[in-house]
Protein backbone atom coordinates (compact mmCIF):
# COMPACT_ATOMS: atom_id res chain seq x y z
CA UNK A 1 0.00 0.00 0.00
CA UNK A 2 1.02 3.58 -0.54
CA UNK A 3 -0.30 6.65 1.20
CA UNK A 4 0.09 10.36 0.79
CA UNK A 5 -0.88 11.88 4.11
CA UNK A 6 -1.61 15.58 4.60
CA UNK A 7 -2.28 17.32 7.88
CA UNK A 8 -5.34 19.48 7.27
CA UNK A 9 -7.53 21.98 9.06
CA UNK A 10 -10.45 20.61 7.05
CA UNK A 11 -11.10 18.54 3.93
CA UNK A 12 -14.04 17.32 1.93
CA UNK A 13 -14.92 15.18 -1.08
CA UNK A 14 -17.80 15.76 -3.46
CA UNK A 15 -19.10 13.54 -6.26
CA UNK A 16 -21.45 15.04 -8.84
CA UNK A 17 -22.02 18.02 -6.55
CA UNK A 18 -22.95 15.85 -3.54
CA UNK A 19 -20.84 15.93 -0.39
CA UNK A 20 -19.75 12.34 0.31
CA UNK A 21 -17.12 12.87 3.04
CA UNK A 22 -15.81 15.69 5.18
CA UNK A 23 -13.61 16.22 8.22
CA UNK A 24 -12.34 18.98 10.44
CA UNK A 25 -8.74 19.03 11.69
CA UNK A 26 -6.91 15.79 11.05
CA UNK A 27 -5.41 13.78 8.22
CA UNK A 28 -6.37 13.58 4.56
CA UNK A 29 -5.11 10.17 3.45
CA UNK A 30 -4.80 9.31 -0.23
CA UNK A 31 -4.54 5.51 -0.24
CA UNK A 32 -3.33 3.21 -3.01
CA UNK A 33 -3.54 -0.59 -2.95
CA UNK A 34 -1.22 -3.03 -4.74
CA UNK A 35 -2.34 -6.48 -5.96
CA UNK A 36 -0.23 -8.31 -3.38
CA UNK A 37 -1.49 -6.28 -0.41
CA UNK A 38 -3.22 -8.29 2.29
CA UNK A 39 -5.64 -7.30 5.07
CA UNK A 40 -2.73 -7.38 7.53
CA UNK A 41 -0.98 -4.68 5.50
CA UNK A 42 -4.06 -2.43 5.66
CA UNK A 43 -4.37 -2.94 9.41
CA UNK A 44 -0.70 -2.20 10.09
CA UNK A 45 -0.63 0.88 7.86
CA UNK A 46 -3.77 2.22 9.58
CA UNK A 47 -2.10 1.74 12.95
CA UNK A 48 1.08 3.40 11.71
CA UNK A 49 -0.79 6.45 10.41
CA UNK A 50 -3.03 6.74 13.49
CA UNK A 51 0.16 6.94 15.56
CA UNK A 52 2.19 9.13 13.16
CA UNK A 53 3.35 12.11 15.20
CA UNK A 54 2.68 15.07 12.92
CA UNK A 55 0.51 17.26 15.18
CA UNK A 56 2.07 19.97 17.36
CA UNK A 57 2.48 19.63 21.09
CA UNK A 58 2.27 22.60 23.45
CA UNK A 59 5.80 23.61 22.40
CA UNK A 60 4.91 23.59 18.71
CA UNK A 61 6.93 20.45 17.93
CA UNK A 62 5.37 17.67 15.85
CA UNK A 63 5.05 15.27 18.73
CA UNK A 64 1.39 14.22 18.81
CA UNK A 65 -0.43 11.59 16.77
CA UNK A 66 -3.88 11.68 15.23
CA UNK A 67 -5.06 9.70 18.25
CA UNK A 68 -3.36 12.09 20.71
CA UNK A 69 -4.78 15.16 18.96
CA UNK A 70 -8.31 13.76 18.68
CA UNK A 71 -8.17 14.42 14.94
CA UNK A 72 -10.32 13.08 12.15
CA UNK A 73 -9.40 11.16 8.99
CA UNK A 74 -10.62 11.38 5.40
CA UNK A 75 -9.59 8.37 3.31
CA UNK A 76 -9.59 8.79 -0.47
CA UNK A 77 -8.81 5.81 -2.69
CA UNK A 78 -6.06 6.70 -5.14
CA UNK A 79 -4.98 3.99 -7.58
CA UNK A 80 -2.83 6.57 -9.37
CA UNK A 81 -0.30 6.33 -6.52
CA UNK A 82 0.90 3.22 -8.36
CA UNK A 83 1.39 5.01 -11.69
CA UNK A 84 4.38 3.94 -13.76
CA UNK A 85 5.48 6.84 -15.95
CA UNK A 86 8.93 5.57 -16.89
CA UNK A 87 7.99 5.02 -20.53
CA UNK A 88 6.15 7.35 -22.83
CA UNK A 89 3.77 10.08 -21.77
CA UNK A 90 0.81 8.02 -20.59
CA UNK A 91 1.23 6.40 -17.18
CA UNK A 92 0.44 2.72 -16.72
CA UNK A 93 -1.49 1.57 -13.67
CA UNK A 94 -0.79 -2.16 -13.82
CA UNK A 95 0.91 -2.03 -10.42
CA UNK A 96 -2.39 -1.03 -8.75
CA UNK A 97 -4.84 -3.57 -7.37
CA UNK A 98 -8.05 -4.25 -9.26
CA UNK A 99 -11.25 -2.51 -8.16
CA UNK A 100 -12.58 -5.32 -5.94
CA UNK A 101 -9.34 -5.71 -3.99
CA UNK A 102 -8.82 -1.96 -3.81
CA UNK A 103 -12.32 -1.33 -2.47
CA UNK A 104 -12.02 -4.15 0.07
CA UNK A 105 -8.71 -2.95 1.52
CA UNK A 106 -9.64 0.74 1.49
CA UNK A 107 -12.78 -0.09 3.49
CA UNK A 108 -10.79 -2.28 5.87
CA UNK A 109 -8.25 0.53 6.34
CA UNK A 110 -11.04 2.94 7.36
CA UNK A 111 -12.61 0.37 9.68
CA UNK A 112 -9.25 -0.19 11.33
CA UNK A 113 -8.81 3.55 11.95
CA UNK A 114 -12.21 3.52 13.70
CA UNK A 115 -11.28 0.43 15.72
CA UNK A 116 -8.07 2.14 16.83
CA UNK A 117 -10.09 5.04 18.24
CA UNK A 118 -10.28 7.67 15.51
CA UNK A 119 -13.73 9.02 16.28
CA UNK A 120 -14.56 10.38 12.84
CA UNK A 121 -13.40 8.59 9.71
CA UNK A 122 -14.89 9.71 6.40
CA UNK A 123 -14.18 8.41 2.93
CA UNK A 124 -14.46 9.36 -0.68
CA UNK A 125 -16.54 7.28 -3.08
CA UNK A 126 -14.51 4.42 -4.46
CA UNK A 127 -14.19 4.44 -8.25
CA UNK A 128 -15.94 7.78 -8.71
CA UNK A 129 -14.60 11.01 -10.16
CA UNK A 130 -14.11 12.96 -6.93
CA UNK A 131 -13.41 16.59 -6.21
CA UNK A 132 -11.22 16.85 -3.13
CA UNK A 133 -10.85 20.15 -1.31
CA UNK A 134 -8.52 20.67 1.62
CA UNK A 135 -6.87 23.32 3.70
CA UNK A 136 -3.38 22.01 4.38
CA UNK A 137 -1.97 22.76 7.80
CA UNK A 138 1.74 23.53 7.84
CA UNK A 139 1.83 22.28 5.14
CA UNK A 140 2.71 18.81 6.37
CA UNK A 141 2.71 16.08 3.72
CA UNK A 142 4.15 12.61 4.28
CA UNK A 143 4.52 9.91 1.63
CA UNK A 144 4.68 6.38 3.00
CA UNK A 145 4.46 2.84 1.79
CA UNK A 146 3.77 -0.38 3.63
CA UNK A 147 7.15 -1.74 2.47
CA UNK A 148 8.92 0.90 4.60
CA UNK A 149 7.61 -0.60 7.81
CA UNK A 150 9.70 -3.17 9.72
CA UNK A 151 6.71 -5.54 9.82
CA UNK A 152 6.34 -5.58 6.01
CA UNK A 153 8.35 -8.77 5.64
CA UNK A 154 5.81 -10.51 7.87
CA UNK A 155 2.74 -9.27 5.96
CA UNK A 156 3.11 -11.09 2.64
Active-site pick, 6, 12, 55, 78: 78
For residues 34-55, average pLDDT: 97
Active-site pick, 80, 94, 125, 141: 80
92: DSSP letter: B
Among left, alpha and beta (phi > 0; psi -120 to 50; other), residue 26 is left
pLDDT at 156: 44
Tell me if residue 144 is catalytic. no
Local confidence band at 151 (pLDDT 50, 70, 90 cut-offs): very low
Q: What domains can you pick out in the chain, each with its CATH number?
A: 2-150 (3.50.80.10)
Local confidence band at 31 (pLDDT 50, 70, 90 cut-offs): very high
pLDDT at 155: 47
Tell me if residue 82 is catalytic. no
For residues 67-92, average pLDDT: 95
d(CA 31, CA 81): 8
For residues 67-74, average pLDDT: 98
Is residue 120 predicted with pLDDT exceeding 80?
yes
For residues 32-46, average pLDDT: 96
Whether the ω angle into residue 155 lies within 30 degrees of 0, i.e. cis, is: no
d(CA 71, CA 7): 10
Active-site pick, 55, 79, 82, 109: 79
Angle made by CA atoms 4, 9, 15, in degrees to the nearest 5: 65
Tell me if residue 126 is catalytic. no
pLDDT at 42: 97
Local confidence band at 153 (pLDDT 50, 70, 90 cut-offs): very low
pTM confidence score: 0.92
Amino acid sequence: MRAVVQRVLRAQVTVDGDLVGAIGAGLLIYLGVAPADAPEVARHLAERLAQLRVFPDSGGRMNRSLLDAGGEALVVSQFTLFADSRRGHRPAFTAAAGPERGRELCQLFGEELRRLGIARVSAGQFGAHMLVESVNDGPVTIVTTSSEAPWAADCG
